[in-house]
Amino acid sequence: MKNVKAIIFDAYGTLFDVNSAAEKCKDKIGDKWEGFANFWRTTQLEYTWLRSLMKRHKDFWQVTEDSLDKSMNAFNIDKSMRSELLDLYKILNTFPEVKDVLNKLKEKNYKLAILSNGTPALLNELVKSNNLENIFDDIFSIEEVGIYKPDSRVYDIPVKKYQIQKNEVTFLSANTWDVSGSGNYGYNAIWVNRNNNIFDKLDYEPKKQVKHLDELLDLIQ
Same-domain check for residues 45 and 133: no
Report the length, in residues, of the chain.
Answer: 221
Q: Which of 73, 89, 105 is the last residue of a domain?
A: 89
> Please, what is the average pLDDT of the chain?
97
SS3 state of residue 111: strand
Q: Is 78 contained in some domain?
A: yes
Is pLDDT above 90 for 220?
A: no
pTM here is 0.96
Domain extent, residue 53, equals 20-89
Same-domain check for residues 158 and 200: yes
Same-domain check for residues 171 and 147: yes
Which residue out of 10, 17, 59, 178 is catalytically annotated?
A: 10
Is pLDDT above 70 for 221?
A: no
Same-domain check for residues 66 and 141: no
User: Any idea what the Cα angle at residue 175 is, between residues 201 and 75, rounded to 5°?
Assistant: 110
| Helix, strand, coil % in the chain, rounded to nearest 5 | 50, 15, 35
Farthest CA pair distance, the chain:
52
Q: Is 206 contained in some domain?
A: yes
Strand partners, 113: 8, 138
Give the mean pLDDT of 23-29.
Answer: 97
Same-domain check for residues 84 and 151: no
Total structural domains within the chain: 2
Determine the pLDDT at residue 3. Answer: 87
Is pLDDT above 80 for 1?
A: no
Tell how strand 188-192 and strand 169-173 pair up.
Answer: parallel
Q: For 42-73, what is each residue's pLDDT tens digit?
A: 999 999 999 999 999 999 999 999 999 999 99
Same-domain check for residues 175 and 74: no
Same-domain check for residues 98 and 196: yes
Same-domain check for residues 124 and 177: yes
Same-domain check for residues 182 and 83: no
Q: Is 167 contained in some domain?
A: yes
Same-domain check for residues 152 and 197: yes
Q: Is 10 a catalytic residue?
A: yes
Same-domain check for residues 120 and 213: yes
Q: Which of 89, 107, 142 is the last residue of a domain?
A: 89
Same-domain check for residues 99 and 196: yes
Q: Is 1 contained in some domain?
A: no
Q: For 115-148, what is each residue's pLDDT tens digit?
A: 999 999 999 999 999 999 999 999 999 999 999 9
